[in-house]
Amino acid sequence: MTQAMKIAIVDDEQDMRQSISQWLALSGYDTETFGSAEDALKVLGPEYPGIVISDIRMPGMDGMQFLKKLMGNDSALPVIMITGHGDVPMAVEAMRVGAFDFLEKPFNPDRMSDLAKKATGARRLVMDNRALRRELSDGTQLMSKLIGQSPVMERLREDILDLGQADGHVLIDGETGTGKTLVAHALHAVGSRAGKKFVLVSCSAFEEDALAKRLFGPMMPEDAQLPAMEEARGGTLVLEDIEALSETMQARLLSVINEQGTPAETRLVAISNLQEAGRTSEDALRSDLFYRIAALRITVPPLRMRGEDILTLFTRLSEQFAEEYGCETPQVTAQEAAQLLQAPWPGNVRQLINLAERAVLQSRRGAGTISSLLMNDHEDMQPVMTTEGKPLKEYVEAFERMLIDNTMRRHRGSIASVMDELCLPRRTLNEKMAKYGLQRSDYL
**pLDDT block averages, 10 residues each, the chain of length 444:** 77 92 90 94 91 93 92 91 81 88 88 91 82 63 78 91 90 93 90 87 91 85 77 92 93 91 88 72 88 92 91 90 87 84 89 92 83 72 44 70 82 86 84 84 81
Q: Rounded to 5 degrees, what angle do the CA atoms 287, 291, 294 make?
A: 130
pLDDT score of 383: 42
Residue 88 identity: V
* Distance set, CA 393 to CA 315, 387, 400 (Å): 21, 10, 10
pLDDT score of 391: 60
97/261 Cα distance (integer angstroms): 45
141/240 Cα distance (integer angstroms): 22
64/58 Cα distance (integer angstroms): 10
Strand order in the sheet with 236-240: 198-202, 236-240, 267-272, 170-173, 296-299
List of E strands, 27-169: 30-34, 50-55, 79-83, 101-104
pLDDT score of 384: 37
Tell me if the pTM is above 0.75: no
pLDDT score of 27: 84
Spatial contact of 135 and 105, defined as CB atoms under 8 Å apart: no
173/298 Cα distance (integer angstroms): 6
